[in-house]
Amino acid sequence: MPRYKNADLAQLAHQLTLSPRRQRSSQIAGAERLLEIVEPHRTYPYDFVCYHLTRYRPLKPSGRSILKGRSLIADLVRLIEHLTQSAGFLTSSLSEPFLSLEQLRKRFQVSAKTIARWRQRGLSGWRVLDEHQVRRLVFTEKSVQRFTSRHEQLVERARVFSQMTERERAQIVDQAKDLVTVHRLKLQEVSRRIAEETGRAVETIRYTLRRYDQQHRDSAIFNPSGRPSVPEHYHEIYRAWANGVPASELARRFKLSPARIGRIGREMKTYDLLARQISYVFHPEFDAPDVQRRLLEVVKPADSCVPMERIRPASTEAPDYVRALYETPLLSFEQEQDLFRRYNFCKYHAVTLIRRLDPCKAGVRELREIENLLVLADGYQKRLIQSNLRLVVSIAQRHLSRGAPLFELVSDGNMALMRAVERFDVSRGFRFSTYASWAIMKNYARSIPEERRRYTRYVTGQEEVLSSAPQTGAVPVSSRAEVEGLKAALSEGLKHLDDREREIVVSHFGLEGQVQPSTLDQLGQKFGVTKERIRQIERRALCKLKGVLSPAWADLIHAA
């Protein structure tokens, strides 16, 4: 079933196809009468259309939709094709002369695409069966004459387009290139200006330029959205312009005017903003009429409030990084709420302005306003992150484990904190620390097991075992000579173990060049005992090593 633009007319078409076939001729005649009287720029009630198609007038107004003339014309063409197809007419049974699609195209010297556009304007066709029982689209002489009499200028413009020479097409392309190079206009505006100069239809110019772009993709004038294509040297100009190179210097280098350099820079900056992914959490307050005054112009309550008292770390032996975090004051609930609203509104307002930008017409004031909003949002984000960094440290300290130093956990937690700031919804009324704690701990739940898995999988030699061991109270192994000394001490100590103890220690810790360390479960299966028994044997072997090695090396090996 064809896709109708109006749902009521689609339902009516379905009902008409269910009626007896003897009524098809009158239904088609009614649809063709409607095509003669309907004007594209007027509107028509559904009851009016229904009466002309069915000769049935309801006693009371149905209250159905009002149909626009242009969409009604297109739907009537679809309806005629639908009704003739359901009737199963044969070409031999048609009482009036008709033309096939190819015959109609040759008569008017136009393309099949032009005929398709004419059908949208009211040129009705019939779906009939030829002598081979193949369904064909034909056009009755009556419908062709009706369409040409109502659209004389449209048909004449199509004739002129078909007679356009290659030289004229080349001139149109050259004119478009000049307009795009100097003024950076869109396809529709370029087509309109060239049409005014040449006297041809705007659609003709637009089709010519689109066809040129399809045949010359490497040197296309416009991109698929209708905006001017970006030449390669524009990227070079923009990189230099963004890095602060004066426009006068770029004008001399590329032989362009300084004003032109500025336009290129603004256009490329707009493309960068359009491609930038800016996420925000919407708040109903953002739609209030005075929201810009309250959140952008009024003095920030978060800055005017007295900050909370700074809390010093309990231990003076804490690292400098941790002590520095306690210099940043915590935020009160009101300060936190205000900062999050301002942070998300700045991004929301920036996205709204970016969507209105036209790369070909972007002005300095518009771009500067967007940049100021993004800088302001970055400042709010930085303050929210800094005031919650000590939260990351407190959670990281509770997740210390083998192979995961504190500062690696803090760095990983800081990334989770930054993501939490971007996703926090202040309208729910919770403290940010509640949401951030959950986000950080959830991140650790994923990352710490992965770190342990990589550690147990890829630790294959003595250097890795020693480097991952705690350094407190042990001899630091910082030179190759010390590493070699420790290797010799281990080899000497292993001689004091029996065969089973030696094999368990060597296999479990990946010593003596073993490629893959064995787990306790694997060793238990190998010796035919439980993994708990393997752990007891290993503990006994390590105690022996501690007894035969020097105290410093023994502490390090025992810790490993």
DSSP, res 42? S
**pLDDT score at 179:** 92
User: Is residue 144 very low, low, confident or very high in pLDDT (cuts 50, 70, 90)?
Assistant: very high
User: Is residue 380 very low, low, confident or very high in pLDDT (cuts 50, 70, 90)?
Assistant: very high
Is pLDDT at 304 greater than 50 in this prediction?
no
Higher pLDDT, 138 or 507: 138
Do residues 53 and 27 touch, judged by C-beta distance below 8 A?
A: yes
Is pLDDT at 444 greater than 60 in this prediction?
yes
What is this structure's pTM? 0.55
Share of the chain above pLDDT 70, in %: 83
Is pLDDT at 162 greater than 80 in this prediction?
no
Is pLDDT at 28 greater than 50 in this prediction?
yes
Q: DSSP of 60-105, one letter per residue? A: S----PEEEHHHHHHHHHHHHHHHHHHHT-BGGG-SS-EEEHHHHH
Average pLDDT of span 175-196: 91
**200 backbone φψ class: left, alpha, beta (φ>0; ψ -120 to 50):** beta
**pLDDT score at 62:** 62
Q: Report the SS3 class of residue 554.
A: helix
What CATH class does 462-559 carry? mainly alpha
CA distance 527 to 509: 17
**pLDDT score at 63:** 66
**pLDDT score at 79:** 93
DSSP, res 299? P
User: Is residue 367 very low, low, confident or very high in pLDDT (cuts 50, 70, 90)?
Assistant: very high
Higher pLDDT, 319 or 42: 42
CA distances from 116 to 134, 185, 208, 224, 264 (A): 21, 29, 17, 22, 40
pLDDT, tens digit, 9 for 90 and up, residues 62-104: 667 788 999 999 999 999 999 999 888 888 888 889 899 899 9
Q: Report the SS3 class of residue 136.
A: strand
Length of the chain: 560
User: Is residue 477 very low, low, confident or very high in pLDDT (cuts 50, 70, 90)?
Assistant: very low
The fold of 284-454 is: Four Helix Bundle (Hemerythrin (Met), subunit A) (1.20.120)
User: Is residue 319 very low, low, confident or very high in pLDDT (cuts 50, 70, 90)?
Assistant: confident
User: Is residue 481 very low, low, confident or very high in pLDDT (cuts 50, 70, 90)?
Assistant: low
Segment among 9-23, 239-253, 476-490, 498-512 with least mean pLDDT: 476-490
Instruction: Determine which helix (DSSP H) or strand (DSSP E) holds 55, and give its type and residue range.
Output: none
Pairing of strands 135-140, 66-68: unpaired
The top-scoring range by mean pLDDT among 196-200, 367-371, 468-472 is 367-371
Q: Where are the domains positioned within the chain?
A: 7-157, 181-219, 232-275, 284-454, 462-559
pLDDT, tens digit, 9 for 90 and up, residues 401-426: 655 677 888 888 999 999 999 999 99
Mean per-residue pLDDT of the chain = 82
